[in-house]
Amino acid sequence: MSTAKEEVRQILEVIPDDVTLEDIQYHIYVRQQISGGLKDVEEGRVLTEQEAELRMEKWLEP
């Protein structure tokens, strides 16, 4: 399991040299969101496809 510092280092390696602090913040945010999602999956905070579709149905009604 990589540490937070390593994760940030990894991000810095793949982004262009002329980025702003705001850009870096954004990429860290993305990384955080993904970690959160993976944790949700691991801990069973998930829905079946049917449940998910049922929830979204209200947006599709005319």
Q: Which residues bind another protein (CB under 8 A)?
A: 10-11, 14-16, 18-20, 22-23, 26-27, 29-31, 33-34, 36-38, 40-41, 44-49, 51-53, 55-56, 59-60
Determine the Cα angle at 1 with ends 47 and 17, to 5°. Answer: 95
Specify the residue, 4 or 30, whose C-beta has the smaller distance to another protein: 30
Instruction: Decide: 58 and 49 in contact? Cβ < 8 Å.
Output: no
Residue 53 C-beta: closest distance to another protein, Å: 7
User: In this structure, what token pair is assigned to residue 16?
Assistant: 């262009």
Specify the residue, 4 or 40, whose C-beta has the smaller distance to another protein: 40
User: How far is it, in rounded angstroms, from Cα 31 to Cα 33?
Assistant: 6
